[in-house]
């Protein structure tokens, strides 16, 4: 299962030992490790990125999470105001893109105390014992996990359906309206068209992004498949097949959302 993992450490030396422990589990085939990053929180409560996520598609999720945490706890005025108001719309969308909710972000913020360090990783694991045991030996004081979900894909699908219905309703009303009402409705129709157009672009962007990420993940897993034997090989092969099916489902969902948005623009 694809997960975001966050392990807390009291010392900088220990957090890098934890990173090496994950790399060791990846080498032996117990887990698949896609990307890592290291952050700390200073005495003023500001999150500082000590080690950035890996570049490229495999680092997308971890990079988005570290960036969001640095922004949220970095003292940026707009973010602080948004947090106080309970909105955080833009950052919440970033969290959704990586497949976790704001409750997970809040838990990380609570657990990462000033002067402490956190190892952030995206992993594929079948059971938690290997990682928990290895990170505990390395000095981890707390290990948090959250399975990644297709939050954004589902939201895009719902938003496209709602925008299409709104646009269709406005067009139907326009046909029945008088001259004065039509002038007002035209502005609303234009705004609705713009929302549909934005959703169409969002679906396309996500389709490309998820495809790139999936190809990179599959390539890494296939390379690992050549190095492992026995039960580990069988499980890894099953994981690759499952990841491919999941990507096919996501691609189909986003492709349909894009096509429906396109149809709405033509109608």
Segment 199-213 shows an average pLDDT of 85
Segment 217-245 shows an average pLDDT of 80
Name which of 80-84, 139-143, 182-186 the model is least confident about: 80-84
pLDDT of residue 95: 56
Name which of 85-89, 202-206, 209-213 the model is least confident about: 85-89
pLDDT at residue 79 greater than cutoff 60: no
User: How confident is the model over 184-197, as pLDDT tens digits?
Assistant: 899 999 999 999 99
Q: Considering the chain, what is the average pLDDT of its residues?
A: 84
Segment 53-59 shows an average pLDDT of 86
pLDDT at residue 169 greater than cutoff 90: yes
User: How confident is the model over 229-238, as pLDDT tens digits?
Assistant: 777 788 778 7
pLDDT of residue 81: 35
Secondary structure, 3-state, the chain: CEEEEEEEECCHHHHHHHHHHHHHHHHHCCCEEEEEEEEEECCCCCEEEEECCCCCHHHHHHHHHHHHHHHHCCCCHHHHHHHHHCCCHHHHHHHHHHCCCHHHHHHHHHHCCCCCEEEEEEEECCCCHHHHHHHHHHCCCEEEEEECCCHHHHHHHHHHHHHHHHHHHHHHHHHHCCHHHHHHHHHHHHHHHHHHHHHHHHHHHHHHHHHHHHHHHHHHHHHHHCCCCHHHHHHHHHHHHHHHHHHHHHHHHHHHHHHHHHHHHHC
């Amino acid at each position: 299962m694809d997960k975001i993992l966050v392990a807390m450490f009291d010392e900088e030396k220990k957090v890098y030992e934890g990173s090496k422990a994950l790399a060791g589990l990846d080498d032996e085939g117990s887990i698949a490790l896609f990307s890592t990053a290291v952050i700390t929180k200073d005495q003023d409560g500001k999150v500082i990125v000590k080690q950035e996520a890996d570049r490229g598609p495999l680092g997308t999720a971890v990079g988005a999470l570290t960036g969001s945490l640095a922004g949220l706890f970095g003292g940026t005025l707009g973010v602080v105001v948004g947090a106080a108001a309970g909105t955080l719309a833009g950052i919440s969308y970033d969290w959704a893109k990586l497949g976790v909710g704001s409750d997970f972000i809040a838990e990380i913020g609570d657990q990462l105390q000033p002067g402490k360090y956190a190892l952030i990783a995206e992993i594929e694991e079948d059971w938690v014992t290997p990682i928990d045991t290895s990170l505990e030996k390395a000095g981890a004081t707390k290990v948090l996990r959250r399975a990644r979900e297709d939050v954004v894909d589902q939201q895009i699908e719902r938003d496209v359906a709602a925008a299409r219905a709104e646009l269709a309703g406005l067009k139907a009303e326009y046909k029945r309206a008088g001259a004065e009402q039509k002038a007002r409705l035209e502005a609303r129709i234009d705004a609705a068209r713009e929302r549909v157009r934005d959703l169409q672009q969002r679906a396309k962007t996500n389709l490309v992004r998820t495809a790139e990420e999936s190809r990179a993940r599959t390539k890494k897993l296939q390379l690992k498949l050549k190095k492992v034997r026995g039960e580990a090989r069988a499980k890894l092969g099953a994981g690759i097949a499952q990841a491919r099916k999941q990507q096919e489902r996501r691609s189909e969902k986003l492709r349909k959302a894009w096509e429906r948005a396109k149809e709405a623009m033509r109608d």
